[in-house]
Amino acid sequence: MADITLGRPSGIPAPDRTTDPRVVAVAALLLLGGAVWLTDAVSARQAALYLVGGALGLTLYHALFGFTSSFRVFISDRRGAGIRAQMVMLALACALFFPALAAGELFGQPVAGLVAPVGVSVVFGAFLFGVGMQLGGGCASGTLYTAGGGNTRMIVTLVFFIVGSVVGAAHLHWWSALPSIGPVSLVGSLGALPALALNLAVFAAIAGGTVVLERRRHGALRPGNRTAHRGWQRFVQGPWPLIWGGVALAVLNFATLALAGRPWGITSAFVLWGAKPLDALGFDVAFWPYFSAPERAASLENSIFQDITSVMNFGIILGALLAAGLAGRFAPVWRVPLRSLAAAVVGGLMLGYGARLAYGCNIGAYFSGIASGSLHGWVWLVAALAGNVVGTRLRPLFGLEVEKTPRETAC
């Protein structure tokens, strides 16, 4: 996820702040008002998905749940709490998803996972995305929620993420023609229970490996997020323990599956946000192979508020804004160093282009892909980690910090 420093030395908690009622009021009004409007203009289900997006944004911000920073601090200093939280998240998600996907329905509604081909396109795209994570300062979900939380640099990353997504969509047919073994569903190939047992074993091995490596480097595991807040005050203002975040994200992704019939995704909306203006300006976007699929063609024609992914993304931004207001930490800084700005541009382009080639990002390909039993989710993780290693090495060239302990940040 993104780098949003809260203005204190590494490892030292910031003084607890008071809630900003103005920011909370604006965010709550937009969330609740938007839900009422969507119920009337589209459907109650679309409104519910919008609010699920809001809950996702609040969770990501309050739990300081960062994919990008988690990978970086493990690469640079073997601190693995973030990766262990990801494994908890994935384990719970698989336990919830696999039985429903095997049955093909959930609460009477047909459901399907995000299962994508495994090939050259995924490997290269995920690697590129991994480099972009470290230069852009975030992943897909991190870009949204940190922008919503007041990180102005991430607005630049988001703009160029959209640009890269559109270019990637225009080129996807060429990449898709490269060697591939096609989609592989572990649930379909092995069955729900064997696939779950295999995944749980791998999650446990990864988490255990981070414990061994962290203790070997430091002698002990680092404590979790610290705050003077307790009980309901901590729940409302944060920061949450990472495990709370992992559990909440898994449950909310399952809610998305129940409501939308498919898991949580983010970056397909970025293609739409960039393609619609081009289409309005007279470019032949509708004739791109990417938009030949009926669902994508319809999304180009219809209102953006009828697109599930777009509506959830708007919810994530506003949920993060609400969380920042509750925590008293919404304070945009408009001056961004030139080298850092350049990294945001380059990183955003790599994130967008890589996500299209890899059939998703850290959410659609990694989180939801693995939760769907898709082999391409595991391939994405390996290739993206390699990209993160390269991106971490490149950060100092752009004046970006490579911290040695996890910072208590909003990503």
Q: Which of 13-22, 82-91, 241-250 has the lowest mean pLDDT?
A: 13-22
Would you say 411 and 82 are in contact if contact means Cβ atoms under 8 Å apart?
no
26 pLDDT higher than 80: yes
pLDDT in tens, 63-107: 988 899 999 999 999 999 999 999 999 999 999 999 999 999 999
Compute how many other C-beta atoms are within 10 angstroms of the C-beta atom of residue 89. 25
| pLDDT on residue 207 | 97
Coil, helix or strand at residue 80: coil
36 pLDDT higher than 80: yes
Q: Which of 159, 231, 148, 23 is nearest to 411 (CA)?
A: 148
- Average pLDDT in the chain: 90
| pLDDT on residue 261 | 96
405 pLDDT higher than 80: no
Per the structure block, which two tokens stand in for 190? Answer: 């092995």
Give percent above pLDDT 70 in the chain: 92
Burial annotation 42-73 (CB, 10 A radius, 16+ → b, else e): beebbbbbbbbbbbbbbbbbbbbbbbbbbbbb
Question: Which run of H or of E encompasses 321?
Answer: helix 308-327
Q: Phi and psi for 200 in degrees, rounded to 5?
A: -65, -35
pLDDT in tens, 168-207: 999 999 999 999 999 999 999 999 999 999 999 999 999 9
* Residue 141 confidence class, pLDDT cut points 50, 70, 90: confident
- C-alpha 239/C-alpha 3 separation (Å) is 16
223 pLDDT higher than 50: yes
Mean pLDDT of 103-124: 95
| pLDDT on residue 12 | 34
CA distances, 316 to each of 264, 319, 321 (Å): 12, 5, 9
* Residue 225 confidence class, pLDDT cut points 50, 70, 90: low
Q: How many residues are listed for the chain in this entry?
A: 411
Residue in the block written with tokens 């969509």: 169
| pLDDT on residue 88 | 97
- C-alpha 218/C-alpha 178 separation (Å) is 44
| pLDDT on residue 54 | 97
Helices (H), 104-220: 120-136, 140-148, 152-176, 186-190, 192-218
Would you say 238 and 63 are in contact if contact means Cβ atoms under 8 Å apart?
yes
- C-alpha 270/C-alpha 314 separation (Å) is 11
Q: Which of 239, 323, 269, 258 is nearest to 93 (CA)?
A: 258
Burial level of 251, CB count in 10 A (0-12/13-18/19+)? middle
- C-alpha 140/C-alpha 161 separation (Å) is 8
Say which DSSP state 374 is in: B
- C-alpha 411/C-alpha 3 separation (Å) is 6
- C-alpha 236/C-alpha 93 separation (Å) is 24
pLDDT in tens, 305-322: 999 999 999 999 999 999
| pLDDT on residue 9 | 31
Would you say 311 and 259 are in contact if contact means Cβ atoms under 8 Å apart?
no
Mean pLDDT of 27-53: 98
What DSSP letter does each residue of 319-351 carry, written as one string? HHHHHHHHHT---------HHHHHHHHHHHHHH
Q: Which of 94-98, 209-213, 227-231, 367-371 has the lowest mean pLDDT?
A: 227-231
